[in-house]
Amino acid sequence: MALYSEKVMDHFRNPRNVGVIENADGVGEVGNAVCGDIMKIYLKIDGDVITDVKFETFGCGSAIASSSMATELIKGKPVSEALALTNKAVTEALDGLPAHKLHCSVLAEEAIKAALKDYYDKNGIEYDPAMFPEESCAYCAAGEV
Amino acid sequence: MNVYADNAATTRMSQTALDAVRDCMENTWGNPSSLYETGQKAKTALEQARERVAAALNALPGEILFTSGGSEADNQAIRGAAALGKAKGKTHIISTTIEHHAVLHTLKRLEREGFTVTLLPVDAEGLVTARQVAEAIRDDTCLVTVMYANNEIGTVEPIAEIGAVCRERGVLFHTDAVQAAGHLPVDVKADNVDLLSLSGHKFHGPKGVGALYVRRGVRIPPLIEGGSQERGKRAGTENLPGIVGMAAALSEAVERLPEETARLTGMRDALIAGLSEIPYGVLNGARTNRLPGSVSFCFEAIEGESIILLLDDLGISVSSGSACTSGSLDPSHVLLAIGRPHEIAHGSVRITLGAYNDASQVPYIVDSVKAVVERLRNMSPVWRDLNEGKRQHVIPA
């Protein structure tokens, strides 16, 4: 029994959409180095569609795979669909994550939400703040340091 | 190329040890406690193994107790010494912040049972001094336990000096020599040790077997109650194949120690030199005062588990002290104890060489680590921030 599913290993070994978008319409960064994972998502949005997405991640195998999968799940999709992306959907698309790695999928969801919030803020688009809850550090006690 | 370089975790058995285990299982399967010939043959094999282990440590056969491994030996040594101390009203124990969890968790439990524990800090290389120990000893100190060499960063502690201080002050001294036995010239007399733990699978012997040296005259109680095996100090029918295999492996390791030390030290130093070329990386532990085959580095802006997985794809098996590989939220307590900040400790790699490694693997390991570090840094937002001056380097270039 391997540590991760084949899907996780595929996205870890060959991450999709790695990189930076210059002059991105939305940028979101979550996590911190003390905890051991940081995810940064860059969005290019045209009209209501996410036309391009890139990510950079500092973290373990499942953090990199979760970022890669999350970008794949929202690329070419309307903003409304990206907003609805859950960590559960990321986990399922990866054929599951070990229990102590589920927070990586949570970070991926939060990174995308943070980038969308940045897009709304930059463009003066009104939104319900409840859509963007504070990032949860519940999984990581070190984050309180 | 396939390179197993995690010998501090476990080792592949030597052919000598494998032959000894198999031969024992096939031909010497009797119970050493049985009186008839088949049992007495097993008893003879057991006592020969005891003599071999004793000889490797410059101990007497009667001072060697076989256990299920290093953890059990550590538990029995510490709990046993604590019980002896308590009987005399002494309930203070001294240790260090970088011990193995078999020691630290046992001490934690003793604290809950009313003992007071002083954990001495280590310096930036992971070293504790005899002077620190001398200053920490109190009238009610019953035990000092300091590891011989550290499993994560390889630093070798001044055991003989600490032992001398303990002997002078009349305090029992235990050392967890799990990483040292078979790799350093361990001598219980010269090292002034009262109790010493070792584990078979760290020097190309089998798993599930270890030994505890108990100096003659030190009467520690058993951890496991039952029959009168091991002179009443450790009940249960002896794991004879394991014991015989461990004795064979230890004898072999001690016999080859001078040449292996030179060979592994050369490979280790070449690894350290090669990996030092990676910018913003730092060696963990002492530069020369370290186990012959042990190398540990931290690399800025990347995470250890990712390094391990990518190296695994290249056929290289190594380990890390990152939180993600430790199964806990915090990175290695040893890396934190030598002053590495959390974010740096997450990016650690430990490479430990053994008898099956050879010098031809060194350039491959160095090139692979360089490639993996670069690849991960190129997707790290922390690395970008460092390059763009938005974040300060913690490790110098």
Q: What is the pLDDT of residues B344-369, one digit of tens each?
A: 999 999 999 999 999 999 999 999 99
Q: Do A60 and B382 touch (CB under 8 A)?
A: no
Checking if the pLDDT of B324 tops 90, the result is no
Q: Do A59 and B303 touch (CB under 8 A)?
A: yes
Q: Is B300 on the interface with A (CB under 8 A)?
A: no
pLDDT of residue B330: 84
Chain B: residue whose CA lies nearest to A140: B329
Residues from chain A that touch B322, judged by Cβ atoms under 8 A, are 36, 60
Nearest CA-CA partner of A11 in A64, A76, A49: A64
pLDDT digits (tens, 9 = 90+) for B170-194: 999 999 999 999 999 999 999 999 9
pLDDT digits (tens, 9 = 90+) for B62-96: 999 999 999 999 999 999 999 999 999 999 999 99
- Please, where in chain B does CATH 3.40.640.10 lie? 15-255
pLDDT digits (tens, 9 = 90+) for B115-174: 999 999 999 999 999 999 999 999 999 999 999 999 999 999 999 999 999 999 999 999
Q: Is B251 on the interface with A (CB under 8 A)?
A: no
Q: Which of A36, A55, A101 sits opposite B322 (nearest CB)?
A: A36
pLDDT of residue B326: 66
Give the domain extent around A29.
6-122
- How many residues would you count in chain B? 397
**Are B194 and B219 in contact, with CB atoms under 8 Å apart?**
no
Phi, psi values for residue B210, rounded to 5° = -155, -175
**CATH architecture of the domain formed by B257-387:** Alpha-Beta Complex (3.90)
Q: Do A56 and B346 touch (CB under 8 A)?
A: no
Token reading at B39: 């049992």
Q: Do B303 and A63 touch (CB under 8 A)?
A: yes
C-beta atoms surrounding B313 within 10 Å: 12
CATH of the domain at A27: 3.90.1010.10
DSSP string for chain A: --SS-HHHHHHHHS-SSBS--TT-SEEEEEEETTTTEEEEEEEEEETTEEEEEEEEEES-HHHHHHHHHHHHHHTTSBHHHHHT--HHHHHHHTT---GGGHHHHHHHHHHHHHHHHHHHHHTT----GGGSPPPP-TT-GGGG-
Chain A: residue whose CA lies nearest to B322: A36
Annotation marks residue A35 as catalytic: yes
Nearest CA-CA partner of B210 in B193, B197, B221: B197
The Cα B286–Cα B323 span in angstroms is 23
The percent of residues in chain B predicted with pLDDT above 90, rounded, is 97
- Please, where in chain B does CATH 3.90.1150.10 lie? 257-387
C-beta atoms surrounding A3 within 10 Å: 15
Q: Do B379 and A57 touch (CB under 8 A)?
A: yes
Is residue A18 domain-resident?
yes
In which residue are the tokens 């002050």 written? B169
Ranges of chain A whose pLDDT falls below 50: 141-145
Average pLDDT of span B105-112:
98
Residues from chain B that touch A9, judged by Cβ atoms under 8 A, are 309
The Cα A59–Cα A105 span in angstroms is 12
Q: Which residues have C-beta within 8 Å of that of residue B304, sequence separation ≥ 6?
A: A60, B320, B321, B322, B324, B325, B331, B346, B347, B348, B349
Domain count, chain A: 1
**Are B381 and A37 in contact, with CB atoms under 8 Å apart?**
no
- Closest approach of B280 to chain A, Cα-based (Å): 16
Residues from chain B that touch A40, judged by Cβ atoms under 8 A, are 381
Residues from chain B that touch A141, judged by Cβ atoms under 8 A, are 329-330
Q: Do B329 and A12 touch (CB under 8 A)?
A: no
- Closest approach of B342 to chain A, Cα-based (Å): 5
CATH of B15-255, one of 3.40.640.10, 3.30.160.250, 3.60.40.10, 3.40.50.360: 3.40.640.10
**Are A26 and A115 in contact, with CB atoms under 8 Å apart?**
yes
Best residue in A6, A9, A29, A60 to probe B by mutation, most B CBs within 10 Å?
A60
Q: Amino acid identity, residue B382?
A: V
- Closest approach of B325 to chain A, Cα-based (Å): 9
The Cα B182–Cα B200 span in angstroms is 9
Checking if the pLDDT of B273 tops 80, the result is yes
Beta strands in B304-395 (DSSP E): 316-317, 348-352
**B54 vs A139, more confident:** B54
Confidence label for B25 from pLDDT (cuts 50, 70 and 90):
very high
Best residue in B306, B349, B375 to probe A by mutation, most A CBs within 10 Å?
B306
